[in-house]
Structure 1
Amino acid sequence: MRSQLPWYARPFCLLVLTLSTVPVVFAGDAQWIEVKSPHFSVVTDAGEKRGRETAMRFEQMRAVFDVLMTKASVNIPIPLEIVAFRNSKEMRQFAPLWNGRPVQLSGLFLGAEDHSFIILDMSVENPWSVVFHEYAHQLMNGVLTARVDSWFEEGFAEYFSSIEVDSKEARVGKIPEDEYRVLQQNGMMKVADLFRVQQNSSTYNESGSHRTVFYAESGMVVHYLYDNNLIPRLAQYFDLRLARNVPVESAIQQSLGMSAADFDKVLRNYVSSGRFKYFPIPTPANIVSSEYVTRPLSPADSSAVLADIHLHSLDYREQAMAEFEEILRADPNNAAACRGLGYAYLQKQAFTQAAEYFKRAAQGDSKDPRVHYYSALLMSREGAFAHLSDLPEMIKHLDAAIALDPNFAEPYSLLALAQMSAGDPAKGLISMQKAVSLNPRNEEYRFNLAQIYMNTRQPDAAIAILQTLARSGSPEVAERAGGALEEALQFKAAMQERQAAGVGNGVGSDGEARACCSIGIGIDKSSIVEEHIRVIPTPTPPSFLKGTIMSIDCSAPPNATLTVVSGGKTWKMQVPDREHVALIGAAAFSCSWSKQKVALNYRETGTGVGRVVSI
């Protein structure tokens, strides 16, 4: 994803460097409305005409993608809301902070596991390119089920973000003028170097001309591959690189039929020629903005939407709570504000307060899938998996969330774990398979599906998933999957030995099941399945901490332990792999950091202990 200001940049920060106080945002004298199209919700104060235009543009992009990618799913597995501001002043109140100041941008994609936002400044000439790039990433998740390299992720998104539509045709693959200028002014990377860039590379994350060229050239490479019908050969390339660990140069030669040096030459000639193909297709039919439904929003309802954006941004979470509280002082029964404040308390592990606000939200709007999902998530955090009496209510909430939004993947994942805990592995398997089908690139879902396959005595299916996850770009996922893969292979061997000995395959009684599971994985319907299945629970959102690094222990590479003092409290922060931790503001991790001011995103793993997400 992108992370700086212009077309080539991802418009959200991985790391919060500071937190500033921004006035609570209310609707003021603007009339906020909601525009509902068949697949999108647009909330705007830029007027009905611009609201309808915004919804229409996203419907067009979705339809064009559906035509071009006939086997792809165009349903996004996380609820998406589009907010279109009438001017830059309003937009700045929701922009990520850098050194305490809002980043200047025209569009922003804000992603989370429960809800995502696309935010636009309608006063600029072209607010679409940045958010279309990010929306293309979301659509890409329905096309690819496996890991690919960063250059293809970004090049693919850039290619499809260029969609233009008029009354006659839709055009895909028109290269923006910015890309020409960037490559002409800054030169080009060698293709082999471009293909080596990973998400933790400085070229990908740090501002400057190298990253500018990376995004521009990635888009140009994908253009070239499409124009020359080479896209199908990428399956072989990524198999060579990611499955067989073949060097980049050899993988290029074997899959694309040219050396890396020859690829450099043809790409330079391609760029300098200025002759690029684009694909015209008929304008998608039946996209009529005049048929969209609009409704005015009350000041409280529009303010609740804006506070929800702040809640899903690391820079503004504390401010969001104050905004929800102010809304509820004016409108005590506002369902959206109750839902938002409840989720804020859930993130803080304040379960009693969260439960109170979720109950009030359900009383105000029982048709909100997020209220039901949050209520079930709260029960899971409170320990419902360990209390069988709580599981029926939890499952009821998840069934309701799914009925209200069948494309929302998270409720299926949580439902699978609840069903496993309730002793119904057959249903648990179906639910987790559905979660994976909706979001096939979610590695947590796939890992949990592999574990459920083990519990249902299907080791071959589990092994196939774990072999892929063991090559994950995430060191943590790869390590966990590698360990699980070894156990799955041992389990399969044990089953085969039993079958050869005529003992059976262990699929009989609970006693037989436990006897065959020498590695400790099995289903005992009379007890809590949590003791037998090691799943990745739905993670809590990362927490944020500012403090000072006092010392770093690097004695057990690649791990590192940071001793961080913040607000008079001392933390032990674990870094699983210091060579691959996400860094902002430093070229590389240093074991010599001392008395170093730092800001961390982390997940708490114990009292005063956390696992670092980014530094």
Structure 2
Amino acid sequence: MNHFVIAVMFFIACIWSNPAYAKWIEASSDHFIIYANKNEKTVRKFAERLELFHAALAYGRTNVLAKPSPSNRVTIFVVGSEGKVQKLARFGGRNIGGFYLPRAGATVAFVPELRKASNKFQNSPEQILFHEYAHHFMYGITDYSYPRWFSEGFAEFYSTVRFEKDGNVGLGLPAAHRAYELGRATDVPLIELLNTKKYLANKRKGYDNFYGKSWLLYHYLTFNPTRRKQFREYQLRLTNGSNEEEAAEVFGDIGQLAKDLGVYRRNRKWSYFSRPRAELKIGQITTRQLRSGEAKMMPVIMRSKRGVTREQAIELLPQAQEIAAGFPNDPAVQAALAEAEFDAGNNAAAIAAADRALVKDPRHINALIQKGYALAALAKDSEEPEIDWKAVRRQFVKANKVENDHPIPLLYYYRSYRDAGAEIPEIAVRGLERALEFAPFDSSLRWMVANQHAQDRRYDHAIQILRPLAFSPHRSKQSQLAEQLLEQFEEKRDADGQPQASN
């Protein structure tokens, strides 16, 4: 994705303007939690637009995931400038307008501002976020990883959402911000666009029109009456196991499709969907001003949620400790300190900070989880591991009782057996599978579930879980390894005489 980057962890050296005195607002809704140093009205309105966007995406669909648990919502940090976003990302240079990290129980996005583009040819921070949330939404409606062009075309198609004056929501409007790209950038031949491997094998250095052309093709196939039927068949073939080249045969002569697409590009009038506001149901949106201690701790919280290495955590820790010393009775501050201590490898100090938070708020989910992490780290080196691993399990059971649909307690209950080298009970395996249902976008969780199924010789289940990683449109060492494992699992399934599941 060209603006948002799922990146490895780097040191974050952010310069925040007056963080100790900033008045931060938290907006909480069904699918999002937003933190911004903005006025309450602006943040609330942003949360409302995001929820309307989700409702418009879900409109008419029957396979949408249920409302997430509070901690499994997308958390959005509004950091104030693109420079601060780029320092947080530390990857991609000046091209980053924001970034998104899809993780079970900790999905976060960082954006510079809550603003629209100054003209239709610009890609605003808000539109970038809509693009990334479309990807996030797509994970929840299918277990299949579609070709790269489809994935990006889908996200671009919906990122141009327009909130009409009458309250309706428009989807699929022209991607004017891709006009220059379509007209000036190196063209990607349609035969390569439809085949991820061919595109990557022949990719030219520099800027091409992949994103713009992916949007154009998705838009054309969606609104052209004849091609729409082919588009449905194309998607059906993919979900039934056809590869990209086989699925694309439904379009007939690709050369003719390319000519038709060229004609379509010259349109002066573009179709789009209008979703009626009266039918877009959104839940309650609440806002509050963060307490003084929480506001002062926000720079630490953002860096922790972004992800830090041990060295980075050690450098961050003195700031967290200094702030937390002034707010010993604030559960959010002490939970943030617990996270910073754990990241730095100070497990006993992390438990102590988490306990201070839990005295004030026994249901504080981050404190419960951070304590569980620290207990698990101590159990790995314990002289009485059986006793200590039981304490770890009790801790994550407590967290599960607070948020039954939170994936992290389910995941770490399972890991407590695996990391202890103990026999994994069926209830732990079922919990792991349930965690993936709540967080289908988390690739490391998907790996874990696939490997567990393979160990249990449930190869067909392992294949189904692994397939989105193997067919990921973003080619990587991970996707190549997934392809290899997929072949191995298929061979073992066939050798065992297991029936192949129908899609």
* Structure 1 unmatched ranges of 5 or more: 3-8, 497-615
Please name the residue that 2:425 is paired with: 425
The answer (yes or no) to whether the contact 1:451–1:462 under 8 Å persists in 2 is: yes
Q: Shift of the alpha carbon at 1:113? A: 4.4
- 1:355 has 2:351 as partner: yes
Please name the residue that 1:255 is paired with: 250
- 1:298 has 2:296 as partner: no
Q: 1:312 to 1:29 in 2, by over 3 A?
A: closer
Please name the residue that 2:120 is paired with: none
Equivalent AA in structure 2 for residue 141 of structure 1 = Y
The answer (yes or no) to whether the contact 1:407–1:438 under 8 Å persists in 2 is: yes
Q: Percent identity?
A: 19
Equivalent AA in structure 1 for residue 391 of structure 2 = E
Q: 1:204 to 1:308 in 2, by over 3 A?
A: farther
Larger strand percent: 1
Distance, in Å, in 2 between the alignment partners of 1:466 and 1:486 is 14
- 1:216 has 2:212 as partner: yes
Distance, in Å, in 1 between the alignment partners of 2:6 and 2:63 is 33
Please name the residue that 1:232 is paired with: 232
Distance, in Å, in 2 between the alignment partners of 1:304 and 1:445 is 29
Q: 1:450 to 1:200 in 2, by over 3 A?
A: same
Q: 1:29 to 1:441 in 2, by over 3 A?
A: closer
The answer (yes or no) to whether the contact 1:304–1:337 under 8 Å persists in 2 is: yes
* Structure-to-structure mapping, 1:250-289, within 5 angstroms: 251-252=247-248, 254-256=249-251, 258-285=252-279
Selected match of 2:63 from 63, 71, 75? 71
* Structure 2 unmatched ranges of 5 or more: 118-123
- 1:340 has 2:336 as partner: yes
* Structure-to-structure mapping, 1:512-591, within 5 angstroms: none
Q: 1:346 to 1:186 in 2, by over 3 A?
A: same
Distance, in Å, in 2 between the alignment partners of 1:157 and 1:306 is 30
Distance, in Å, in 2 between the alignment partners of 1:463 and 1:182 is 38
Equivalent AA in structure 1 for residue 250 of structure 2 = S
Q: Shift of the alpha carbon at 1:284? A: 4.7
Larger helix percent: 2
The answer (yes or no) to whether the contact 1:22–1:93 under 8 Å persists in 2 is: yes
Distance, in Å, in 1 between the alignment partners of 2:277 and 2:489 is 49
Please name the residue that 2:27 is paired with: 35
The answer (yes or no) to whether the contact 1:466–1:484 under 8 Å persists in 2 is: no
Distance, in Å, in 2 between the alignment partners of 1:98 and 1:288 is 32
* Structure-to-structure mapping, 1:399-410, within 5 angstroms: 399-410=397-408
- 1:309 has 2:302 as partner: yes
Please name the residue that 1:174 is paired with: 173
- 1:369 has 2:374 as partner: no
Q: Shift of the alpha carbon at 1:129? A: 0.1
- 1:109 has 2:108 as partner: no
SS in 2 for 1:295: strand
Selected match of 2:40 from 5, 28, 48? 48
Q: Shift of the alpha carbon at 1:433? A: 2.5
SS in 2 for 1:270: helix
Selected match of 1:84 from 70, 78, 83? 78
Q: TM (normalized to structure 2)?
A: 0.79
Q: 1:169 to 1:306 in 2, by over 3 A?
A: same
Q: Shift of the alpha carbon at 1:223? A: 1.2
Distance, in Å, in 2 between the alignment partners of 1:415 and 1:481 is 27
SS in 2 for 1:95: helix
Distance, in Å, in 1 between the alignment partners of 2:280 and 2:41 is 18
Distance, in Å, in 1 between the alignment partners of 2:31 and 2:89 is 34
Q: 1:304 to 1:103 in 2, by over 3 A?
A: farther
The answer (yes or no) to whether the contact 1:146–1:441 under 8 Å persists in 2 is: no
Equivalent AA in structure 1 for residue 369 of structure 2 = Y
Please name the residue that 1:184 is paired with: 183
Distance, in Å, in 2 between the alignment partners of 1:225 and 1:398 is 47
Please name the residue that 1:196 is paired with: 195
Distance, in Å, in 1 between the alignment partners of 2:67 and 2:217 is 27
Please name the residue that 1:394 is paired with: 392
| CA deviation vs aligned residue, 1:186-231 (integer Å, no higher than 9, x gap) | 363211222334699499897x421xx1111111121122213244
Please name the residue that 2:326 is paired with: 330
Q: 1:186 to 1:482 in 2, by over 3 A?
A: closer
Q: 1:462 to 1:216 in 2, by over 3 A?
A: closer
Distance, in Å, in 2 between the alignment partners of 1:312 and 1:270 is 44
Q: Shift of the alpha carbon at 1:99? A: 8.3
Number of equivalent positions? 473
Please name the residue that 1:145 is paired with: 143
Equivalent AA in structure 2 for residue 336 of structure 1 = A
Please name the residue that 1:507 is paired with: none
Q: 1:23 to 1:236 in 2, by over 3 A?
A: closer
The answer (yes or no) to whether the contact 1:64–1:284 under 8 Å persists in 2 is: no
Q: TM (normalized to structure 1)?
A: 0.66
Q: Shift of the alpha carbon at 1:54? A: 1.0
Distance, in Å, in 2 between the alignment partners of 1:120 and 1:237 is 40
Distance, in Å, in 2 between the alignment partners of 1:315 and 1:416 is 24
Q: Shift of the alpha carbon at 1:162? A: 1.9
CA radius of gyration, larger in: 1
Quote the RMSD (CA, aligned, Å).
3.9
The answer (yes or no) to whether the contact 1:183–1:217 under 8 Å persists in 2 is: yes
Q: 1:305 to 1:111 in 2, by over 3 A?
A: farther
